[in-house]
Amino acid sequence: MNFKTQKIYAVIMAGGQGTRFWPLSRKKRPKQLLNIIGDQSMLQITVDRLRKIDLIKDIFIVTNPGLASQIKNEIKGINNNNLIIEPYGKNTTPSIALAAIKIKSIDKNAIIGIFPSDHFIIGHKAFLNSLNIASELALNKNLLVTMGIVPKFPHTGYGYIQYDKKISHNKISFNVKTFAEKPLESAAIRFIKSGDFLWNSGMFIWKAKTFLNSMKELIPDQYEIIRQISKKINTPEYKNTLYEKWENLKPESVDYSILEKAKNICVIKSDFTWSDLGSWNTFFEFLSKDKNENIIKGNGLILKGSNNLIHSNDKFTAVVGIENSIIVNTDDALLVINRSYIDEIKNLLNEIKLHGKEELL
């Protein structure tokens, strides 16, 4: 059977604060607007990647009011009317729902693709192939499609998706058995050995109305709030209604609220090179290293140490006898942290706030 494809409205999620990249990433200048891996911001790299794909019909960006003006001024290739402003962050379910009702008001049969703003992807043909198959499945089978990545090693910083080898829609798409949170190393090793687990990329493709119907079935109270907001789109009452109703939405991830419960879900087994660059550790894993497994970004020197990352654009930063650490030096803050404690950055920022140093956040 020859399936039809339909072009995709791309939605880039760009409202996060990137706290795990502190002190480089701040509330007023979060990770997605930083030139972390080259001469362009992560958000601009994502926009440019999607603009090169003929299957993409249009690109929208979901963000918050504090970042909207920066995105308008700095990001090329996006119509200002394609910025979808959420009042404030409430995790991914409300953000995706807001995008869904916006784009459905433009095209009632729209297929939307959800893409984080800070992912690194190599392998254009493989990425395009996954998108084509995802579009086919979303259009012809009304499936919620997620992209899984063939794991390269037992990563403990990524979520995993277990797929059913016996139920395949084609050679690389399968029904989903279960989702697994970030595992311990022992569990990650078991996942890899089993051969039926993929990294959860956080990229999704589905019809806007399929997603909204899933909300109606699985989280009807939240759907009703979104429905009330959708009735006011393109009217003078929209903004007031949005802000009034937004307070009542629960801050839930789409994985938890929809995908882990839905029956009409499948995963694409994708083999392009991918990293979510979600923390200093994933940044460290991504970059090439010297003979001592060290990385220096900017101005620095490491003696008698290994498995370290120095990120210091302006100040000369020297370390001696340090192992397995991240050292980030900015104009107003210095972070020195063992790589095994990288998840403690969130707690560190809470302590900074308690100590009255909110200007550093």
Per-residue pLDDT at 219: 98
The CATH number of whichever domain residue 40 belongs to comes to 3.90.550.10
224 shares its domain with 323: no
From 68, 83, 128, 31, select the one nearest 345 (Cα to Cα). 31
Token couple for 120? 């690194």
pLDDT at 168: 80
Distance CA 95, CA 99 (A): 6
Domain count, the chain: 2
24 found inside a domain:
yes
Q: List phi, psi (to 5°) of 218.
A: -95, -35
Q: How many CA atoms lie within 13 A of 140 on its CB side?
A: 13
Q: Which of 260, 275, 222, 7 is nearest to 116 (CA)?
A: 275
Distance CA 282, CA 8 (A): 29
Residue 44: name the closest of 75, 69, 84 by CA: 75
DSSP H helix total and E strand total for the chain: 11, 15
Q: How far apart are CA 307 and CA 326, in angstroms?
A: 9
Query: Could you tell me if 210 and 289 lie in one domain?
Result: no
Q: What pLDDT sits at residue 33? A: 94
3-state secondary structure of 167: strand
* Same domain membership, residue 270 and residue 228: yes
The residue from 244, 278, 312 where one domain ends is 278
Query: What phi, psi does 297 have (nearest 5°)?
Result: -110, 110
> Which residues contact residue 35 at a Cβ distance below 8 angstroms, ignoring those fewer than 6 apart?
41
Q: Give the pLDDT score at 37.
A: 82
Rg (CA), the chain: 21
Residue 221 backbone phi and psi in degrees, to 5: -65, -40
Q: CA-to-CA distance for 151 and 231, rounded, in angstroms?
A: 42
Same domain, 206 and 227: yes
Pick from 63, 58, 45: nearest CA to 9:
58
User: Residue 3: what pLDDT?
Assistant: 52
Put simply, whether the predicted model's pTM sits higher than 0.95 gets the answer no
- Clarify whether residues 236 and 154 are in a common domain: yes
* DSSP class of 259: I
Query: Token match 């192992």: residue?
Result: 323
pLDDT per residue as tens digits for the range 171-216: 889 999 999 988 989 999 999 999 999 999 999 999 999 999 999 9
pLDDT recorded at residue 1: 39
Q: Which structural domain range is residue 315 located in?
A: 285-360
Ranges under pLDDT 70 in the chain: 1-5
Same domain for 208 and 326, yes or no, is: no
Say yes or no: 272 and 294 in one domain.
Answer: no
Q: Check if the beta carbon of residue 50 is closer than 8 Å to that of residue 203.
A: no
245 and 102 within one domain: yes
Q: For 85-114, how does the pLDDT look when each residue is reduced to its tens digit (9 = 90+)?
A: 999 999 999 999 999 999 999 999 999 999
Tell me the three state secondary structure of residue 180.
Answer: strand
In a domain, 2, yes or no: no
Tokens in use for 96?
Answer: 């995706």
Residues 68, 141, single domain; the answer is yes
Do the beta carbons of residue 349 and residue 335 sit within 8 Å? no
**Per-residue pLDDT, 4:** 61
